[in-house]
Amino acid sequence: MPRTELQVELLAHTPDALSLIYAAFRQCYHAGFVGEMWPRLLSGEIGADKQAAFVERVMASGHVSPIEHVSFTFAVRGVSRALSHQLVRHRLASYSQQSQRYVDGSGFDYILPPSIAKRPEARARFERCIAEIGEAYREIKTILEETGHGKAREDARFLLPQAAETRVVFTMNCRSLINFFEQRCCLRAQWEIRAMADAMLGLCRKVLPVVFAVAGARCERLGFCPEGERFTCGRYPLPEHSMMIIKKQ
C-alpha cells in the first residue's frame, strides 16, 4: 500500500474556445446572426487578439454568462476520498469516480498529509494504521468470498479510510471553474484540494488566458480579503468599511 502523489491531466476542452466565447458575447450585442460570422472566426479573418480584447472588455463589465459555453475535462489521481467529498460539493459539474464497490482495495494507495509526514512519530503511527486497515480489508474480503457472499468488495470497503486514494474524471464549464478557483485557491482552503486547484488553474491559463488570467482566490482579483475579520488569513487587507467597523469596536 504505497503512498501516492497528486497528478492532474487536462483531457479535453471545448474546441475553438476563444472564438466560441467571442461569438456568444457578440450575439448579445450584435443585431445580426453570429452563425454567419463563425466561418470568419475559424478562418482567422477576425484575429485572436481582437477576439481576446473584446472578451476581456466585456468580462470586466461583469457580464460573464457566455463563458459557460466552454468546458474543461480533467483526470485526477493521487487524491484522497476526503478531497473527493469536497470536490463534489461543486454541483455544476459532471463526475466519474473510481468505484470502491468494483475496484479491489486490498493494496490501496493512500495520501499522507504533510503535517503528519514531517513528524516521524505521527507518520509511523499513521502508516501502521493504514497497514492494519489493509490487512483487515483483505481478511474480511476473503471471509466473505469463501462463505459465498457475492459482493465482498462492496462490503469490505466500509473499512477503507478517507486517506485512500481515488481517481476522478470531471468536467466544469468556465464559469463554474472560476467559482471553484475562487474558493479552492484560497489559502484557507484545505491543503490537498488547493494543490489540485492550483494545478488545474495553470492548465486552464495555458488554453484560455483571457478568461483565466485573473482567476484564482477572490482576494487576488479584488485586492482585499472578502472573508471578513474572523476568517481572513492576513494575506490581503480587509475592505476599508470593515476596517472602520473594527476601529469603532
Q: Give helix 17-29 / helix 48-60 axis angle, nearest 10°.
A: 60
Candidates 153, 184, 188, 218; catalytic one: 184
Distance, in Å, from the CA atom of 106 to the CA atom of 166, rounded to the nearest integer, reads 14
Q: What is the DSSP string of 164-199?
A: BEEEEEEEEEHHHHHHHHHHHSSTTS-HHHHHHHHH
Task: Tell me whether residue 184 is one of the annotated catalytic residues.
Answer: yes
Amino acid, single-letter form, for residue 18:
L
Amino acid sitting at position 4? T
Residues 6+ apart with CB under 8 A from 50: none
Strand-by-strand arrangement of the 7-13 sheet: 7-13, 71-80, 165-173, 93-97
- Contact assessment for residue 94 and residue 169, using Cβ atoms and an 8 Å cutoff: no
- Return the SS3 of 131: helix
| Residue in this structure with the C-alpha cell 472578502, named with its chain if needed | 226
Question: Are 197 and 181 in contact, with CB atoms under 8 Å apart?
Answer: yes
Give yes or no for a contact between 7 and 76, defined as CB atoms under 8 angstroms apart.
Answer: yes
Q: Are strands 7-13 and 93-97 parallel, antiparallel or unpaired?
A: unpaired
Closest CA to 108 of 31, 234, 25, 2: 2
Q: Which residues are catalytic, by number?
A: 184
